[in-house]
Structure 1
Amino acid sequence: MLKQNLQQKLLQKLSPQQIQFIKLLQVPTVSLDTRIKEELEDNPALEDISLADMNDPVEEYPDKDPDDYKSEDSEESFDEFNVDEYLQDDNVNDYGSKYDSNEEDEDKKEFPIAVSSTFFENLQAQLDLVPLSDKEYLIAQQLIGSLDDDGYLRRHVPSLIDDLAFSQNVFAEEEEVEEMLKVIQTFDPAGMGARDLQECLLIQLRKKDQNNINIQKAILIVEHHLDEFTKKHYDKLEKSLNINSEELKDIVAEILKLNPKPGDSGASTVKQMQVIPDFHIAKNDDILILTLNSKNAPELRVSKSYQEMFQHYEKTSDKDKKLKEAVQFVKQKLDSAKWFIDAIKQRQQTLLKTMNAIMNYQYDYFLFDGDERYLKPMILKDIADRIGMDISTVSRVANSKYVQTEFGTYLLKSFFSEAIQTESGEEVSNKEVKKILEECIGKEDKIRPLADEKLTEILKEKGYNIARRTVAKYREQMGIPVARLRKEL
């Protein structure tokens, strides 16, 4: 049975300004320039022009949390529009000189671009040198194109045969595909075209000196005892192969020289994410000086030509429907430009306020060149309470922004850590415990590595009363394997 009833609900709805601010806040400096260029392309009422007079007064904007940002009435009638609020002096610069001004030097830097062939092109070049029939060549080409970035053939042969039939109109037998795969497996780098790790290692070993006894034993281990090898059950390998630990050590060394991902070796350079710090912390005696990267302070303004459109409209007596629609469109673009400029300014204010709170909270850490003994336990709520903003706002800043110090460049998130209480009742950062764990594991006897239980005992002796499962969690967070997998011969 259908019923009608009235119901009141209290909902929080994000305004366009709030959404724009949130999106801009989480954009790192390296991507901000791209985001601004996109806005400039979409909105002709927004201009990026260097405004000359840096001595004019800077307009102050109050700090705003995106969760408290007030929404403006988007349905404002055309008659209520005031043209004066869009008119501004050409010489007013809304950005002060408190940001570092290394932008010119940074823009002038030119970075060389490495030109290199991919491993697919390398394999294709080798294929072109092999005398093959047209059918064999097409099959080999299909196989090369089916390799993944690691150089493995993950697809099944029947699927490749279907691809050849549909895309190349080539009808091949399974034996023909297998034969061409063997040809590709002879190409460099060794191990290409393998279907799994075992086959990849065997291809590489069989290209080595077969008269070498260590190579022979290495082939035997990979072919029949790979599971014991990967799990480092060295005692079982010694018993199965009837060899001592010194002999096994030499054999294992041969296997460890192999490349488990031969496709990676075709790349001449390692791709790295470019990091541009959002903040700089300099030290002058015992005083820390925080600056915001100048790239976070672009010089934007509302287009003068769009402002003049409104001035012309005010003087026009004949306000027909088409002209009203045109001017309403211009007004929308001007609104968007003003909102974007405001969001950029609020972004700068929020970034500086958040980073300043983090710097003051961890003052001794930055003052003493990143000594982790001075790193205080700090969670998002600590900073949010200090700056009077929501935890989500601090999280957006911490998860995507970097600070450059005299001892390195760090993600803001790395300065946050949970508290651990020592036996004396003092609260310390869990990073301090991780540092001790790392030192203990680094100094351990690799023939008899320390188990988690032993690491727990060492920490208790040092005054850190934590459980074994917590030790295991910290070890995993640091990417350190269990004791058995750290064992060496």
Structure 2
Amino acid sequence: MSLSQSLQQKLLQKLSPQQIQLMKLLQVPTANLEERIKEELEENPALEVTDEERDDYDEAEEFDTQEEEYEMDGSEDEYENIDISDYVSDSDDDVADYKLRDDNYPDADDKKTLPFKIESSFHDILVDQLGLLSLDEKNYKIAEQVVGSLDDDGYLRRELSSMVDDLAFRQNVDASEEEIEAVIHKIQQFDPPGICARNLQECLLLQLKRQLAGGKEVSLAIQVLDKYFEEFTKKHYEKIQRGLNLNDDQLRDVINAIIKLNPKPGGNLGEINKAESYVVPDFFILNSGGKLELSLNAKNAPDLRISEGYRDMLREYDKGAKKDKRQKEAVMFIKQKIDSAKWFIDMIKQRQHTLLSTMNAIMEYQREFFLTGDETNLKPMILKDIAEVTGLDISTVSRVANSKFVQTEFGTYRLKFFFSESLSTESGEEVSTREVKKILSDLIEGEDKRKPLSDERLTELLQEKGYNIARRTVAKYREQLNIPVARLRKEL
């Protein structure tokens, strides 16, 4: 086969750097937007924050984001085609603050500082307690290895043989499984009770053994968990009563003693991810006399501008008579940075417009819910519905809805909460599956716990209310609500 050249015409569709930057910014929640802007300010000296907001961004942490680079070929024609007037025109200058100030009204305080929790982590708390033990150097290293092997919920799920290997290869400590087990027993006396357990049964038993002075029900609870743990988890209470000769009152006291225990003793100590500790809403919806008012979090609309110092550099270049190649290269660098800054400012404004238009469409679509707060008033809504109203692409709506929150007078909700599929009623009306789940949850909450409703009975009750639903669908919704089957909901 011989090589040959041919002329071909192709139609390609590519995303511009601005579009890529906008898509990245849309996905960034308000809690991380400051960090993203902080990174852009560090990379681009031509971009700056107004004096009123500069202090807010000085404290932001680094946030890794891949940034687009702008390339120039360095040709002489490119140097000669620079129009300085595009960058130093008076129309781009900022309007003086005194011209915009109204002395009759006080300045609105829109600055909302993000709270940060100052605390020790779960593992730090345990390491501090190690100092209370009288351990030699070898056992202290073993104890550090054990504490470091604990999960965030306080369980030790690593095999002893694996810890022996870790100590030998990483710490150069020759330890046996018996020595590690002895250290584990000492750590299990730490606070909170139940720490360093290998499984749920051991965790609950460790907590009960610290309450032995609590009465007879505690000793009975220890026997139940020690001999009938599987039966207890499956609520086979009759077998437990026969085996330990317990009456209903004694079994009820045992159950009350066990359900007070903490199945995850490490779950309440420290936070690994502080971003999950606080929810920073992206939108605020206020009900003003039956009229819904939508506003964007001030952190979503930072006041950015082009650096005046860089404009002054271009003015000096324009006035200068001698323009050698070094000066032209400097102008090209300044032009590049100013273009990048303008693009970023435009992307922030476009992000703000896209967020507002999308949230406004959601607010109008779910108006009844935002007025009443009743989940049964939620209408079935999918991404395509909002995309048709706003004229945006479905992927853009998805990026906006992802990891964004709205604060209402009824609470703070994730935007994804308002999206749900539809279900038909007997009258042919389409209702949201969220409404059906709410009714299902209310039915289970109001049931007689001594005789909980089965999935079949729940299906009949929903059908009586006019919802065409199958039993398997009820079971699916129940599992999505993290509600166990009827037998596991039974109480004495």
TM-score (ref. length: structure 1): 0.84
- 1:219 is aligned to 2:225: no
Identify unmatched segments of 5+ residues in structure 1: 53-71
Gapped regions of structure 2 (runs ≥ 5)? 54-69
254-263 vs 337-346, which moves further: 254-263
- In structure 1, the partner of 2:406 is 403
Partner of 1:283: 287
Distance across 2 between alignment mates of 1:264 and 1:208? 21
Map of 1:327-338 to 2, 5 A cutoff?
327-338=331-342
1:15 aligns with 2:16: yes
In the TM superposition, what whole-angstrom CA distance separates every residue of 1:245-297 from its partner, at most 9, and x where no partner exists? 33222222222222222223544999653223222222333322222232222
**1:40: how far off?**
0.9
Kept in 1: contact 2:123–2:148 (CA 8 A): yes
Q: What is the letter of the counterpart of residue 330 of structure 1? A: I
Distance 1:389 1:4, change over 3 A: farther
Whether 2:381 is the aligned partner of 1:414: answer no
**Cα distance in 1 between the residues matched to 2:145 and 2:52:** 58
* Residue pair 1:30, 1:274 contacting (<8 A) in 2 also: no
Deviations 1:352-411 (A, max 9, x none): 2122222222223323x2233432222211121112111111111122322222322222
Aligned residue identity for 2:379:
K
Q: Secondary structure of 2:109's match? A: helix
Shift of 1:306: 1.5
Within 2, Cα distance between the matches of 1:340 and 1:118? Answer: 37
* Residue of structure 1 in register with 2:138 after alignment: 135
- Who is 2:258 aligned against? 255
Specify whether residues 317 and 264 from structure 1 end up closer, same or farther in structure 2 by C-alpha distance, changes over 3 A only.
Answer: same
What amino acid sits opposite 1:389 in the alignment? L
Partner Cα separation in structure 2 for residue 297 and residue 14 of structure 1: 25
What's the CA shift for 1:104?
Answer: 6.2
Deviation at 1:420, TM superposition (A): 1.6
- Over the matched positions of the two proteins, sequence identity in percent amounts to 58
Cα drift, residue 15 of structure 1: 1.0
TM-fit CA distance, 1:242: 3.7
User: Are 1:392 and 2:383 an aligned pair?
Assistant: no
CA distance in 2 between partners of 1:186 and 1:138 (Å): 18
**CA shift in 2, pair 1:125/1:19, >3 Å:** closer
Q: Does 1:202 align with 2:220?
A: no
Farther-moved stretch of structure 1 (131-140 vs 456-465): 131-140
User: Alpha carbons of 1:155 and 1:313: their partners in 2 closer, same or farther (altered >3 Å)?
Assistant: same
Q: Does the 8 Å contact 2:122/2:271 carry over to 1? A: no
Is 1:175 paired with 2:178? yes
Whole-Å separation in 1 of the counterparts to 2:253 and 2:3: 82
1:455 positional shift: 0.8
CA distance in 1, matches of 2:2, 2:341: 47
User: Hey, what's the Cα distance between the residues in 2 that align with 1:37 and 1:18?
Assistant: 20
Alpha-carbon separation, structure 2, partners of 1:155 and 1:130: 23
TM-score by length of 2: 0.84
Structure-1 separation of matches of 2:438 and 2:350? 37
Question: What does residue 380 of structure 1 align with?
Answer: 383
Alignment deviations for residues 23-47 of structure 1 (CA, whole Å, 9 cap, x no partner): 1122222222221121111100112
Q: Distance in 1 between matches of 2:210 and 2:52?
A: 67
Q: Determine if contact 2:79/2:329 at 8 Å carries over to the other structure.
A: no
Name the counterpart of 1:86.
87
The within-5 A match list for 1:236-275 is: 236-267=239-270, 273-275=277-279
Give the corresponding residue for 1:63.
none
SS at match of 2:212: coil
Stretch deviating more after TM superposition (381-390 or 145-154):
145-154
What is aligned with 2:311? 307
Whether contact under 8 Å (1:278, 1:293) holds in the other structure is yes
> What is the alpha-carbon distance in structure 2 between the residues aligned to residue 206 and residue 418 of structure 1?
49
Aligned 8 A contact 2:281 2:404 in 1: yes
Instruction: Tell me how far 1:121 sits from its aligned partner.
Output: 4.1
Greater mean deviation of Cα atoms: 76-85 or 175-184: 76-85
What are the residue-to-residue correspondences of 1:426-445 with 2, within 5 Å?
426-445=429-448
Q: How far apart, in 1, do the equivalents of 2:315 and 2:184 lie?
A: 74
Deviates more, 1:479-488 or 1:452-461: 479-488
For 2:29 and 2:36, the matched residues in 1 are separated by 10
The alignment yields a C-alpha RMSD, in angstroms, of 3.4
Residue 190 of structure 2 is matched in structure 1 by 187
Q: Could you tell me how far 1:4 is from its partner in structure 2?
A: 6.7
